[in-house]
Amino acid sequence: MYVKCNFLKFNNLYTVSPPVISIQNFPSTFYVGGSALASIECYSIEPLSYQWYKDNKSMGVIYTKPFLSFNSLVLSNSGTYYCMVSNYRFKNIRSSSFTIKF
């Protein structure tokens, strides 16, 4: 996904609009023991953070890199995943989700 900031002019002042998610690369086929990479392409005028969720529960780590990788998938990796992207001004812009199912 690309996260894009747009500028809006209001009463001769410029304000920043929320990021926009436009492209996401999520895997579609999974194999036990295989690897998988979910990637997000983002840009913003401010640093971004990425919080990944599995089955609507935070995975506990706030990432500075826009990807989630699995080196060796196991049955317990099954679930639905998505990412929340935030920066200083805007919190929790949600990506689409993908499901790992064996």
Number of domains in the chain: 1
Residue 37, domain extent: 3-100
| DSSP letter, residue 56 | T
CATH number at residue 95: 2.60.40.10
| DSSP letter, residue 17 | P
Report the distance separating Cα 34 and Cα 76, nearest Å.
Answer: 13
pLDDT per position as a tens digit, 6-27: 444 444 444 455 666 656 788 7
Q: Exposure of 18 by Cβ count < 10 A (0-12 exposed, 13-18 middle, 19+ buried)? A: middle
The dihedral region occupied by 88, where left means phi > 0, alpha psi between -120 and 50, and beta the remainder, is alpha
- Report the candidate in 60, 21, 56, 62 with the shortest Cα–Cα distance to residue 40: 21
pLDDT per position as a tens digit, 18-67: 666 656 788 788 999 999 988 887 767 677 888 999 999 999 877 777 88
Rounded to 5 degrees, what angle do the CA atoms 81, 51, 60 make? 90
Query: So what's the pLDDT on residue 4?
Result: 44
